[in-house]
Amino acid sequence: MADLPYVVHRSWQRMLLAQLVVWAPTLTAGGWLVFIQGWHPLGASRLITLAVIAFVISILFRLIVGLTARRIFRQVLKAHQLLVQQKYPEALTELHEHLAFLERHVFLDRWRTVLFLDTSKHGVRENTWITIAFTHMRNGDLENGQAAYKQCLEANPHNETAIDTLNFIAAFAGEPLRPGGSGLTFCLAVDPKQNRRQSNIRFVVSMIFIWGLGSTVSSLFTMFGGRVIDLLLLELSWFWRAVVSVFVLYWLIGVLMKIYHWAATRMVLLDLYRANWLVKTRRYQEAVKALEVQRAFFDEHPWVDNLRWLLLLSPTTYSYREWILISLADVYLDLGDVDEYINYNQECLVQNPKNAFARSRLEFCNTILGSLNKPLIQIPIEQV
């Protein structure tokens, strides 16, 4: 199953606020040390020293904030551990205690971006209700699960996770759906390991340029970059010239890789992105056709999927063919076709029995079907 029972939707306003919270005090502290106290070791210019000091302070600041958040929200972390261990009653106890704590300290949720650099669109209280509902569902308690999702909607009537899950239950029960859900979850955006793997690829590529091609590309860049740096920041020592040049080269490679990844994925995954847009506009039948076209492409060119980490710089945990099957299941659920939803998730597990997304969805279906006294789904056994 996924690490969280909900997709974390980010707010760009809160992301900007978090950056301001981090860099305003760090640049202020760095400026005080450099320009007022006159501290600039190794003969570096003041701007270079300010950048280094601000960077170090920002890392320490983020570390302190992270440790503080883990301390304050320790009950949630413990509840997630208990969920993994399938100790649902104990997890519910921790979550309800955490919810009571939030009720007593409302400011923690309201000022979560300033205090904990939390950039999620939905509040901690909402996500706690979602986790409580999810825990009830995993424990086979459909009634209390629905009640918890409705409690979340009382806190925020527009919470997509609560609306989508209640619609999910309603589809199996043959009841009308609520308006306002998010529709298709574009799963490529929620792969928890993709960003870390992309960072590893960026590091390897950077090392190849900096060390493997040091006599050509890197040396030319250092010469050119050194002249630009001299013009902007006055004369630097050879040490700081090398440090800044390597840092700029590393940053430039990251930018170029992001541009290449963006362009390559939109060329190869054109129909998948088009399907996502069609679902947002509620044109489900056209979305199915687009996904089938994308699926046929990967059936004809499986090597593109197998080498996606190299060709597209997209080291996803699961293959694109699996994501397409999961996306097809989502669209058919939006169309009210529960049987096709089950079939596509099962087909995904046939391709990869270790796909946690498809497996957790089918297990969730069985929770609902069991509560409705309906026959359960046959889930392929995971290979060890």
- What residues does each domain of the chain span? 12-144, 187-191+267-371, 195-258
- The torsion angle over the Cα atoms of residues 239, 245, 247 and 248, rounded to 10 degrees, is 160
Rg, Å, the chain Cα set: 25
User: 120 by DSSP, 3-state: which?
Assistant: strand
The answer to whether the CB of 110 falls within 8 A of the CB of 98 is no
pTM: 0.72
CA 249, CA 80: separation in Å to the nearest integer? 40
d(Cα 146, Cα 123) in Å, to the nearest integer? 19
> What integer pLDDT is reported at residue 188 of this predicted model?
43
Beta bridge partners of 10: 120
Q: In terms of CATH, what superfamily is 187-191+267-371?
A: Tetratricopeptide repeat domain (1.25.40.10)
Average pLDDT across each block of 10 residues of the chain; the chain has 384 residues. List them in order. Answer: 53 86 83 72 63 81 90 90 89 94 91 88 90 88 91 89 85 77 49 68 71 53 52 54 68 84 92 89 92 95 91 85 91 87 92 86 85 80 61
Q: Is the dihedral of CA 131, 137, 143, 146 positive or negative?
A: positive
CA 72 to chain centre: 22
> Residue 123: which residues within 8 A CB-CB, separation 6 or more?
109, 110, 112, 155, 156
Checking phi first, is residue 282 left (phi over 0); if not, alpha (psi -120 to 50) or beta? left
Q: How far is CA 286 from CA 56, 207, 298, in A?
A: 51, 45, 19
Query: What's the rounded Cα separation, in Å, for the pair 334 and 178?
Result: 11
10 by DSSP, 3-state: which? strand
Backbone angles phi, psi at 354, to 5 degrees: -95, 10
Query: Is the separation of the CB atoms in 320 and 300 below 8 Å?
Result: no
